[in-house]
Amino acid sequence: MPSIDTLAVHAGVEPDPLTGAVMTPIYQTSTYAQTGPGEHKGYEYSRTDNPTRTPLQRSLAELEGGQHALVFASGMSATDAVLNLLSAGDHVVAGDDLYGGTYRLFTQVAARRGLEFTFVDTGDLTKVEEAMRPSTKLVWTESPTNPMMRLCDIGAIGRLAKASGALMAVDNTFATPYFQRPLALGADIVMHSMTKFLNGHSDVVMGCLALRDDDLMRRLKFLQNSIGAVPAPMDCFLALRGIKTFALRMQRHGENGLRIASWLEAHPKIVKVFFPGLASHPQHDLAARQMSGFGGMMSFLVRSDLAGTLRFLSSVRLCALAESLGGVETLIEHPAIMTHASVPPEVRREIGIHDNLVRLSVGIEAPEDIEADLEHALGTV
């Protein structure tokens, strides 16, 4: 199998059959002329399939080492498609440290449809095992988690889920297939917010699911078409273009991530850095075993209170103070006020989202310039 560097450039994409165009055209059409009722070239209606979306889905399947992939209008709608495999009364074991929007979808939307959730630290296998019920149909994990950067043993949880007849899904947004391949480790479904590293340019909102099993694909494809939360052709084009440089970008995110995490850890204004590539991370060994690198995401505690932390965040110039992550530019944010505001304060405190916690998505700029910006802003603390 070609390396991921080659897959990023070529997987799924063929020259356009009509013109030879090397870049997949933007098929900005909702419908397709049929020669007779039901006689068509494989495309009937763009909610169902679109020729700019098809190569993107093939590319993502190959990048994740899957057989299939489906793209959605956002990461949240990709997650919702997985939840729609379940019925009222079914039970989900989910990580207790998740993106705030995922927690909101689970507790405020899916729970109203009758799904039941137990949130546990998926880094503790015993807790996952204890949470399983006969009605458990899905184990949902993030590894590393957003924003505390905790890991779970994907292979071990995959075996546990399989033994209970449940599906295991991994939100692989932070690690990306460049550093972690959950399907090969034993997961059934990989989910991505493609808004982040896969597209990489902070100009598209999109989600995807990658998987191996044909029957599961048939069920999810039915849901993709039935619910209709599909991305537009233009966005599929942009994502295809973003993926061309995916491997290069991730290599640089990884190098910069390790350097900035070490720099922060040595800084007197920083109490603690959460980054799986640091020897101080409690799951560093698991990270080294399960991942081929550590990416560019980290969080850290500023040696200050809320006011000092907000002063620091308002003082950055190069880093963008913004929600989201995984763009070529460095993004910094305050989880308690921004991305995880929908998690109740007592739950936030329990998982470690304190008022002095900052999350950093290290971009591909020169690392010394990122350090200089952080140094300047930390001077206000």
Catalytic annotation, residues = 47, 99, 171, 196
Report the C-alpha gap between 370 and 311 in whole angstroms.
17
> Helix 214-227 to helix 75-83 angle, to the nearest 10 degrees?
120
**Should residue 49 be labelled a site residue for ligand P1T when binding is judged by CB under 6 A?**
no
For ligand P1T, the closer of residues 51 and 84 by Cβ is 84
CB of 274 to ligand P1T, least distance (A): 14
**Should residue 74 be labelled a site residue for ligand P1T when binding is judged by CB under 6 A?**
yes
User: What kind and span of H or E run contains 69?
Assistant: strand 68-72
For ligand P1T, the closer of residues 168 and 325 by Cβ is 325
**Should residue 193 be labelled a site residue for ligand P1T when binding is judged by CB under 6 A?**
yes
The one segment of 109-117, 250-258, 264-272, 318-326 that binds ligand P1T by CB under 6 A: 318-326
**Should residue 141 be labelled a site residue for ligand P1T when binding is judged by CB under 6 A?**
no
Report the C-alpha gap between 341 and 352 in whole angstroms.
14
The one segment of 28-36, 88-96, 97-105, 268-276 that binds ligand P1T by CB under 6 A: 97-105
Q: How many CB atoms lie within 10 A of CB 333?
A: 23
Instruction: For residue 168, give both structure tokens.
Output: 């295991």
Which residue among 12, 51, 66, 101 contacts ligand P1T (CB under 6 A)? 101
User: Are the C-beta atoms of 247 and 2 separated by less than 8 Å?
Assistant: no
**Should residue 106 be labelled a site residue for ligand P1T when binding is judged by CB under 6 A?**
no
CB of 3 to ligand P1T, least distance (A): 26
The one segment of 43-51, 57-65, 98-106, 124-132 that binds ligand P1T by CB under 6 A: 98-106
CB of 285 to ligand P1T, least distance (A): 23
At a CB cut-off of 8 Å and minimum separation 6, what does 184 contact? 65
* Closest residue to ligand P1T, based on beta-carbon distance: 75
Q: Tell the residue number behind the tokens 């020169």, with chain if given.
A: 366
Q: Nearest Cα to 332, choosing from 313, 315, 355?
A: 313
For ligand P1T, the closer of residues 51 and 276 by Cβ is 276
**Should residue 146 be labelled a site residue for ligand P1T when binding is judged by CB under 6 A?**
yes
**Should residue 84 be labelled a site residue for ligand P1T when binding is judged by CB under 6 A?**
no
Which residue among 24, 52, 102, 330 contacts ligand P1T (CB under 6 A)? 102
**Should residue 199 be labelled a site residue for ligand P1T when binding is judged by CB under 6 A?**
no
Which residue among 64, 80, 142, 153 contacts ligand P1T (CB under 6 A)? 142
For ligand P1T, the closer of residues 247 and 325 by Cβ is 325
Instruction: For residue 223, give both structure tokens.
Output: 């849901």
CB of 314 to ligand P1T, least distance (A): 18
Which residue among 24, 141, 195, 356 contacts ligand P1T (CB under 6 A)? 195
Instruction: For residue 90, give both structure tokens.
Output: 């079914």
What is the 3-state composition of the chain as percent helix, strand, coil, each rounded to the nearest 5? Answer: 40, 15, 45
**Should residue 205 be labelled a site residue for ligand P1T when binding is judged by CB under 6 A?**
yes
CB of 169 to ligand P1T, least distance (A): 11
Q: How many CB atoms lie within 10 A of CB 206?
A: 27
User: Are the C-beta atoms of 128 and 118 separated by less than 8 Å?
Assistant: no
**Should residue 299 be labelled a site residue for ligand P1T when binding is judged by CB under 6 A?**
no
**Should residue 324 be labelled a site residue for ligand P1T when binding is judged by CB under 6 A?**
yes
Alpha-carbon distances, residue 327 vs 170, 174, 204, 209, 296 (angstroms): 21, 12, 10, 20, 10
Report the C-alpha gap between 248 and 259 in whole angstroms.
17
User: What kind and span of H or E run contains 306?
Assistant: helix 306-315
Q: Which of residues 214-243 bind ligand P1T (CB under 6 A)?
A: none
At a CB cut-off of 8 Å and minimum separation 6, what does 277 contact? 257, 258, 261, 284, 287, 293, 294
Alpha-carbon distances, residue 197 vs 223, 259, 333, 336 (angstroms): 25, 19, 17, 22
CB of 44 to ligand P1T, least distance (A): 27
Interface contacts to ligand P1T, rule CB under 6 A: 74-76, 99, 101-102, 142, 146, 171, 173, 193, 195, 205, 207, 323-325, 339
